[in-house]
Structure 1
Amino acid sequence: SEPRSSRRPFAVVQLRQDDAEARLYNMVGFQTKMTYPEQRRVLRMIPGLEKAEFVRLGSIHRNTFVDSPRLLRPTLQLKTRDDLFLTGQMVGVEGYVESAAAGLLAGINAANIVMNRELVVPPPETAVGSLIAYITDATRRDFQPMNANYGLMPDLKIRARGREKKIEMGARALAAIDGWIDRNQIQSPTSMAPCEVRL
């Protein structure tokens, strides 16, 4: 039992709506190696799920990723090949937005090679920049994939806590990314002239 209140501890199951009619719900984070019959038995022990119909059961998925700190430059090029970029979940960024952001950076740098321009790296004060710094930190020995988060960003120079700290870090990130875009003359894909890229 829990020492302060002597109550028995319990866990909370997060359910996420999985269809428009609100008839299917996804049990968030229920990856498992249990057999399907055993999952049905155990999950029906959860209060409220005794009579649940399980449409899709959990399974473990393998998260394959490269040793980015050893293999990649902050431009997302391989250290051993200027013309080869890696991106997405395989470089150790977790999440759809993070994967898309890494892909955009690799695409910008691939285009910069074609146009004989300097390659760019977003500032570490930004979400994408701090994540790229994390995955390409050559001093890191026990590398594991990561989502973008405030903990990867450099500390603020002013004292702030809680919500105020996040607001300040967000404002600093927006200013940093805007300055980076301006300094590097990064254009949106719709404003660029079409070109053929061959690497």
Structure 2
Amino acid sequence: MTTDHKDPLMNRRRFLVASTQLALGLCLTNPGELFAKYTSTVPVLKDDKKRAPKPIILVNTHTQEEFQLRYFGKSCPPTIKRDLYSFLRDYRTGDVHPIDFRLMDILYAIQRKTGSKGVYEVISGYRSPKTNAMLRSKSGGVARNSLHLKGQAIDVRLSDLSTRQLRDVAKSLKAGGVGYYAQADFVHIDTGKVRVW
């Protein structure tokens, strides 16, 4: 994305972002509502500036916890980050780790590109060294230096798309790694180098 100050669309975009941030600052009445950043890490869809963002709804398949994340502006309050980190914790050990918010950018872009109104079913977020070692001992498909260990990967399904469709859309974004696990019925998405397996 270019940042040419002479581009009227970029000036309009900055104005809309600033207006939204100001409106949120003045009108936020429910401190429990979830907001997060939306950056230019992944392709911005043409209609992003026309429609109000819908929340990303995440459900942890192991704990049945639900987390809703709505995009407004470019910043995320620390309390929301902490809540997300806790939600995507290693459920086996309870360990919490910072999560790369570019993962949320990717999930949001998938949702917008497909028009999905579904729920992301989270199989794995952060993974502690202890859990990663245990999973490696049971499967050759678990990397020693998995990006799950750095909070840079998430394994998901999307309730109203097949995992094959989810994989294809994630691949098309070219925003990081995409792994397709057909038998286990989930897609691995990470913020590392663009690669597919």
With normalisation by structure 2, the TM-score equals 0.25
Higher-Rg structure is 1
Which structure has the highest strand share of the two? 2
Greater relative contact order structure (CA < 8 Å, 6+ sep): 2
